[in-house]
Amino acid sequence: MAETTIQLDILTPLGPKRHGVVVPGVEVPGLLGELGVLPEHVPFITPVVPGVVRFRDGGESVRIAVGAGFLEVTRDNRVVILVERALEVSEIDANKAREDLKRVQADLSHDLGSIDAAEHRKLVTEQGWLEAQIRATQP
Amino acid sequence: MANLKEIRNRITSVKNTRKITSAMSRIAAARLVKAQQAAMGARPYGERLDQVVGSLVASLGSGEGEGEAGEAGAAHPLLLKRSGNGRVVIVHITADRGLAGGFNANLNRAVGNFIRKEREAGNDVVLLTVGKKGRSFFQHSGQRLVRHHDAPTLGDLVVKAKMVAAEVMAMFTGGKEGGDTELPQVDRVYFAYNYFKNVLTQQPKIEVLLPFESREVVNDERVLPVLEPGRDALLGHLLPIAVESRLQQAFFNSIAGEIAARRTAMDSASDNATQLIRELTLFYNRERQAAITKELMEIIGGAEALKG
């Protein structure tokens, strides 16, 4: 009685993005590299880095840009992705993201010496998040 | 006998007050839906995160799984029970504005009692206030305030939770003495907020934030999942997120609670005003009638005297 589907939840502090969607599998940007989760995966926890979550919902393929967080696979065949933010492709303003990314990259390149560690970390996080958004819009 | 004009002025003034309170109630009602949805939508995230981190921490305590988890050296700094200087900090989360019934006052009182108890136990208490009402209550009582933030809004809540979390984690793991960015070292961190139970009830709550304790009763039969990377690295990644998330949840509850409390308070204020206006109008009419009757009697009396 092998399961052929898996239940997916994507939760953020601003409310769930997806709740109890039945999918054949899901691809997630993990800390140790891109990983795919298929049905009957062993219970599993790993951090998620900013990137794109991909899965098929019915006939259409869905891409969602996510921020940092973590992924949990539970014993009852559920995948829970908890991330600090998530945007669907339709919610992303790709042009604005590209402009913001240019600005952030510029700040990062010529301000390296003067900005302190916390500010630098913030910029790097922002860069990762913007890149994730842009990648989500490129099929 | 009260002057008719005085009563009339009084009625006008109460009517104006009622206009204000009912407008405030309607504004609160409109904002309430959004805040309530935000608070409810955030709960699954916070609860799940709490459960996962809770079961990780619990597995650490029971010593099962990989590594020498039983040794104190292996524990994450945010989990260690400290007994250094006996100082505790309370993150006191209130609103910026009043006119919300007992919303701020209840929490201020609860925190005041809590501080007294901690003092009796020989602990030094410092406050980190979020929201102006909490600050103005404790400012003049000689209570030491280390930091202040204005109350969060739905827009800047996530960022503010990050900021406050960074500050309390810094205080807990060492602190910074001196300078204008002084953050004293503390043994424990509490946070106090109004829990949004429903629109009519907000519960003042004071909970431990650090050292991190798991809230849920963890199911022991649960198979420990595969962790990648190892448990300590994972906890290092997740614990700061969990601390942030607890503050976020508290902020969400506080925002929704403030608006709900204001709506309830302003509703009953409007009802009271309506009641007062009815009583005053009745009194006004009776007085007016009395004045007319008296005048009439005088005229009749005068006419009778002339006739006589």
pLDDT at res. A30: 86
Reduced to 3 states, what is the DSSP secondary structure of residue A136?
helix
Task: Please tell me if residue B67 touches chain A, with a CB cutoff of 8 Å.
Answer: no
Residue B178 pLDDT grade (very low, low, confident, very high; cuts 50, 70, 90): very low
A72-128 confidence digits (pLDDT tens): 888 888 899 999 888 888 888 888 888 888 888 888 777 655 555 556 777 777 888
Q: Which residues pair with B105 in a beta bridge?
A: none
pLDDT at residue B22 above 90? yes
pLDDT at residue B65 above 50? no
* B162, closest residue in chain A (CA to CA): A84
Average pLDDT of the segment spanning B193-209: 90
pLDDT at res. B2: 63
CB contact (8 A) between residue B42 and residue A45: no
pLDDT at res. B223: 58
Spell out the domain ranges in chain B. 23-218+225-265
Residue B229 pLDDT grade (very low, low, confident, very high; cuts 50, 70, 90): confident
Average pLDDT of the segment spanning B82-91: 83
Give the 3-state DSSP-derived string for chain B, with helices as H, strands as E and coil as C.
Answer: CCCHHHHHHHHHHHHHHHHHHHHHHHHHHHHHHHHHHHHHHHHHHHHHHHHHHHHHHHHHHHCCCCCCCCCHHHCCCCCCCCCCCCEEEEEEECCCCCCCCCHHHHHHHHHHHHHHHHHHCCCEEEEEEECHHHHHHHHCCCCEEEEEECCCCCCCHHHHHHHHHHHHHHHHCCCECCCCCCECCCCEEEEEEEEECCCCCEEEEEEEEECCCCCCCCCCCCCCCEECCCHHHHHHHHHHHHHHHHHHHHHHHHHHHHHHHHHHHHHHHHHHHHHHHHHHHHHHHHHHHHHHHHHHHHHHHHHHHHHC
Nearest-neighbour CA in chain B from A12: distance (Å): 6
For this complex, say whether ipTM is above 0.85.
no
Nearest-neighbour CA in chain B from A10: distance (Å): 9
A20-70 confidence digits (pLDDT tens): 888 888 999 988 888 888 888 888 888 888 889 999 888 888 889 998 888
The CATH number of the structural domain formed by B23-218+225-265 is 3.40.1380.10
CB contact (8 A) between residue B52 and residue A45: yes
* B159, closest residue in chain A (CA to CA): A84
